[in-house]
Amino acid sequence: MSGAAPGRERIVVGVSGGVDSSVAALLLRDAGFDVTGVFMQNWADDGSGDCRAEDDRRDAVAVCGTLGLPIRFRDFSREYRDGVFRNFLAEYAAGRTPNPDVLCNREIKFKHFLDAARELGAEAIGTGHYARIDRVDGRYRLLRAKDRGKDQSYFLHQLGQAQLAVTRFPLGELAKGEVRRIAAAHGLQTAGKKDSTGICFIGERDFRDFLSRYLPAKPGEIRTPDGQRVGEHPGVFYFTLGQREGLNIGGVRGRAQAPWFVVGKDIGRNILYVDQGHDSPWLQSHTLRSEAAHWVAGQPPASRFRCTAQTRYRQPDEACDVEVLDDGSLAVRFERAQRAVTPGQSLVLYDGDACLGGAIILSTDAPVAGQSIPGDNAA
């Protein structure tokens, strides 16, 4: 990144070929930064489908050409497989439901990508994430985006002071519609491009078909919590708590014609437990335990405190009391019952718009499917 004008901060922007990163690069350029785009390849094609990486690469090149920015390319597919995908498979095999986007941000975008940017002589990195950063009393804070419908702080909660100090989120104050209008006004090829959804390495493929390439089918029984057999599943690790789709349960004698939902998984016995009703008592919990937490500020606000939390992306804020245990793990009690809190997913804590940090969920006090609920006549 030679040739920067004196006084201009040199910044590398991750350009993914989408509209968000395109506008992030545009805004940082117009703010006076010396910008270079870097396209990251994070997934090596395994022959099972199309992640559209080549289309995205072409779009990234075209956008940088339109903006008059240099572009570089970095292949992080090995790092992604070792640091993200292996964990993804191990968690599913153990019966948990991981969130690879959280791990990708920590291990790839704000670790290997940041290292690559520094090798290119950059002083900071920029991305198209919807989040904000400020500094109060010498500490950086990770804040929710103004557009709460697009806010991505949930996926960024593993960032710390070192990363926030050298990161720019130019979209944090903008609504998604405004981002598209800016892209169109500047003739960017990605202005109308559909947002990517889900996990890149799965792409447009069926999730179960993809996972079966790595975790072979192991059929077993589907049962109600009281032990009634109501169907057969292809593998318990293909399902997550609260899931309705893909159960293929027909009419069951003595049962109402109502939807079934996954309420438990017994990995050892290869049994999938289901119950009828979106708000089944088998899916309700008030407390959870987590792994050791990560704190954006480097430490928790106190050993015991009250805040709000999300146990899944885009969930409304839920009031809770948090206790930080001696080993760094968390004991959390919610003010009201929570539905389908899922081991392997991330608990993310907030104080207003400020993301405090978070942790991986280990367990909850939801009743264990396969054992009766005391006082429940149906069990």
Catalytic residues: 104, 200
Burial class (CB in 10 A: 0-12, 13-18, 19+), 229: exposed
Q: How many helices (H) and strands (E) does the chain have?
A: 9, 18
**Which residue's entry shows tokens 């072409």?**
58
- The DSSP 8-state label assigned to residue 116 in this structure reads H
Q: Where are the alpha helices (DSSP H) in the chain?
A: 19-30, 53-67, 77-80, 86-93, 100-104, 113-119, 161-165, 176-185, 207-212
Collapse the DSSP code of 215 into the 3-class scheme (helix H, G, I; strand E, B; otherwise coil) and give the result: coil
Collapse the DSSP code of 66 into the 3-class scheme (helix H, G, I; strand E, B; otherwise coil) and give the result: helix
Burial class (CB in 10 A: 0-12, 13-18, 19+), 205: middle
Could you give the count of Cα atoms lying within 13 Å of 281 in the half-sphere of its Cβ?
11
**Nearest Cα residue to 354 out of 146, 137, 144:** 144
What's the CA gap between 151 and 352, in Å, rounded? 13
Collapse the DSSP code of 91 into the 3-class scheme (helix H, G, I; strand E, B; otherwise coil) and give the result: helix
Collapse the DSSP code of 206 into the 3-class scheme (helix H, G, I; strand E, B; otherwise coil) and give the result: coil
Start-to-end C-alpha separation, the chain: 67
- CA angle 86/92/95 to nearest 5° reads 145
List the structure tokens of 161: 């002071």
What's the CA gap between 142 and 159, in Å, rounded? 8
With helix as H, strand as E and coil as C, how does 293-335 read?
CEECCCCCCCCEEEEEEECCCCCCCEEEEEEECCCCEEEEEEE
